[in-house]
């Protein structure tokens, strides 16, 4: 048995509707795409045993493994992968990540509703072959196919249960595990799937995912040996935890950025660049990283984190300024935006329930108050409510956000703020930015593509559509009896790759 602390309650176990790291952790145990990610972070064959790529990079042909099966024992065919991506991109599905696949032939027309999902450039010439045709080359496609949005669909389940198929007693999956139970605010229980193609090399029989938004409670349960891994750690206790747990504390680089979003669709931030810049410059990222995060992060002035393949993160000019110069410019811009001590900005800052999100919000609100005179009202919401309110946009002003790379490419971050992306909760709209992304998508030359994407980030930072705060490191506690855990930049840890050692074999 393996017991994971797992952050927020998952919004859904439907892979084409799930959002957030906690939901996708579970989805990757329940389902499997054409490709997967190895324990060390490389793209590897999964349901597909091999693939061929055309010379122009616009056709991918995947050969499925023999005798693939769903968790109910029925045959899994290439048509089910076709159906999965078709559903994922259908507007009716409401998949917030659908635009990640906009480079597939006819995807733009499908996403806009001008063509039916069946027109998407993915076909199944036979039961073991999937062919994906691209409108433009996408060198990151193989990694992207490991994302839940590309997982296959079990058509009988959808036909019988509709959107409610992803529940205990109904969900049919193709991964190493099957869903046994889901008790909201308690646990999601998975059991080993005997029909999984690589079941012989899976050792853990039961996996429990426990929601753990209260990071202190999660730590207590880990200390009591109720959890084998934690979703994260209380940052305020990082030095003490390192001293107490030693090598059980796993810290590693992580392709993710923590930032605040501005709602650009209404006042006070709509058409007020000076105000957005003022609030950004007033934030002392070094204080947040060193004092609030206890060094468990890296300060971020850029939006795309460092370490992304074939890309250099772009930094604004003020990133090289001393603190006093930043503050002087922040006060000048604040006045230019129409605010003063006599007429201070009053703003709402929303974040989802979490001790560290609260601590960061409190510190940033204090910085805005001290240096600019801003009055900030902090609003704490349960994760599902928080996501719903971000999508409503009529009630948000500033909101906590973060993005973790779904594949090792800058577009995983930059596409999020295109005008048509389902997760563009800032409602950022700049035709020039969209045009740069489209230009990069069509670029055949790798250097030209890189230059164009870097220009897009520079424009995004000039427009101050978001307020970058820090880039992530992954931080987990992992029991010494959990074997097979390897740190990687995706922070993916499939339960099928782990083993729980017998008591007599466990390290002291």
- pLDDT tens digits, 143-189: 999 999 999 999 999 999 999 999 999 999 999 999 999 999 999 99
Residue 185, sorted as left (phi over 0), alpha (psi -120 to 50) or beta, turns out to be: left
At which residue do the structure tokens 């507007």 appear? 91
Both structure tokens of 289: 């990283």
**Domain residue extents for the chain:** 31-161, 256-472
Q: Same fold for the domain at 31-161 and the one at 256-472?
A: no
Cα separation, 333 vs 11, in Å, equals: 39
Both structure tokens of 264: 């650009």
Strand, helix or coil for residue 154: coil
- pLDDT tens digits, 269-318: 999 999 999 999 999 999 999 999 998 999 999 999 998 988 999 999 99
With CA atoms as reference, report the closest residue to 42 among 408, 426, 321, 457: 408
Cβ neighbours of residue 412 closer than 8 Å, sequence gap 6 or more: 100, 140, 255, 308, 403, 405, 406
The domain 31-161 having CATH identifier 3.90.76.10: the answer here is yes
Q: What is the pTM of this model?
A: 0.79
Confirm if 258 and 302 have CB atoms less than 8 A apart: no
- pLDDT tens digits, 344-400: 999 999 999 888 899 999 999 999 999 999 999 999 999 889 989 998 888 899 999
- pLDDT tens digits, 442-461: 887 889 999 999 999 999 99
The domain 256-472 having CATH identifier 3.40.50.720: the answer here is no
- Cα angle, residue 341 at apex, residues 336 and 344 outer, rounded to 5°: 75
- pLDDT tens digits, 190-199: 999 999 999 9
Share of the chain above pLDDT 90, in %: 86
Q: What is the mean pLDDT of the chain?
A: 94
Identify the H or E element spanning 59.
strand 59-64
Strand, helix or coil for residue 134: strand
- pLDDT tens digits, 85-125: 999 999 999 898 898 899 999 999 999 999 999 999 999 99
Adjacent-strand bridge partners of 45: 35
- pLDDT tens digits, 206-228: 999 999 888 999 999 999 999 99
């Amino acid at each position: 048995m393996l017991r994971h602390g797992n952050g927020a309650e998952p919004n859904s176990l439907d892979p084409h509707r799930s959002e957030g790291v906690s939901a996708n952790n579970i989805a990757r145990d329940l389902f499997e795409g054409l490709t997967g990610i190895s324990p060390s972070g490389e793209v590897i064959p999964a349901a597909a045993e091999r693939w061929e790529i055309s010379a122009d990079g616009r056709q991918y042909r995947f050969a499925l493994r023999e005798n693939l099966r769903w968790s109910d024992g029925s045959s899994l065919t290439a048509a089910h992968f076709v159906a999965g991506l078709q559903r994922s991109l259908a507007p009716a599905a409401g998949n917030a990540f659908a635009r990640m696949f906009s480079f597939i032939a006819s995807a733009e027309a499908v996403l806009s509703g001008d063509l039916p999902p069946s027109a998407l450039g993915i076909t199944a010439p036979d039961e073991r072959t999937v062919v994906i045709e691209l409108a433009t080359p996408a060198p990151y496609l193989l990694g992207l196919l490991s994302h839940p949005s590309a997982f296959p669909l079990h058509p009988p389940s959808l036909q019988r249960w509709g959107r409610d198929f992803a529940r205990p007693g109904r969900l049919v999956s193709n991964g190493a595990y099957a869903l046994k139970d889901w008790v909201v605010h308690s646990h999601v229980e998975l059991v080993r799937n005997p029909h999984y193609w690589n079941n012989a090399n899976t050792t853990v029989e039961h996996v429990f995912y426990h929601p753990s938004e209260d990071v202190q409670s999660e730590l207590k349960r880990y200390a009591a040996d109720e959890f084998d891994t934690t979703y994260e750690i209380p940052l305020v206790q990082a030095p003490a935890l390192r001293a107490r747990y030693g090598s059980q504390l796993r810290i590693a680089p992580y392709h993710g950025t923590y930032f605040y979003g501005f709602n650009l669709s209404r006042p006070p931030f709509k058409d007020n660049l000076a105000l957005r810049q003022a609030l950004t410059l007033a934030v002392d990222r070094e204080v947040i990283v060193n004092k609030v995060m206890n060094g468990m992060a890296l300060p971020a002035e850029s939006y795309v984190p460092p370490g992304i393949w074939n890309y250099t993160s772009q930094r604004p000019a003020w990133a090289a300024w001393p603190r006093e110069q930043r503050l002087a410019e922040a006060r000048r811009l604040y006045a230019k935006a129409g605010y003063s001590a006599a007429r201070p900005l009053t703003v709402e800052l929303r974040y989802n329930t979490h001790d560290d999100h609260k601590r960061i919000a409190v510190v940033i609100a204090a910085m805005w108050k001290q240096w600019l005179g801003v009055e900030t009202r902090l609003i704490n919401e349960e994760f599902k409510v928080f996501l719903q309110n971000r999508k409503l946009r009529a009630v948000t002003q500033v909101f906590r956000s973060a993005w973790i790379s779904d594949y090792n490419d800058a577009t995983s971050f930059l596409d999020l703020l295109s005008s048509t992306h389902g997760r563009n909760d800032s409602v950022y709209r700049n035709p020039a930015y969209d045009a740069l992304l489209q230009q990069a998508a069509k670029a055949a030359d790798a250097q030209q593509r890189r230059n164009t994407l870097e220009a897009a980030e520079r424009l995004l930072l000039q427009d101050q559509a978001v307020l970058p705060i820090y880039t992530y490191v992954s931080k987990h506690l992992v029991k010494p009896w959990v074997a097979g855990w390897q740190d990687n930049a995706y922070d993916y840890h499939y339960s099928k790759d782990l083993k729980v050692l017998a008591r007599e074999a466990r390290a002291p």
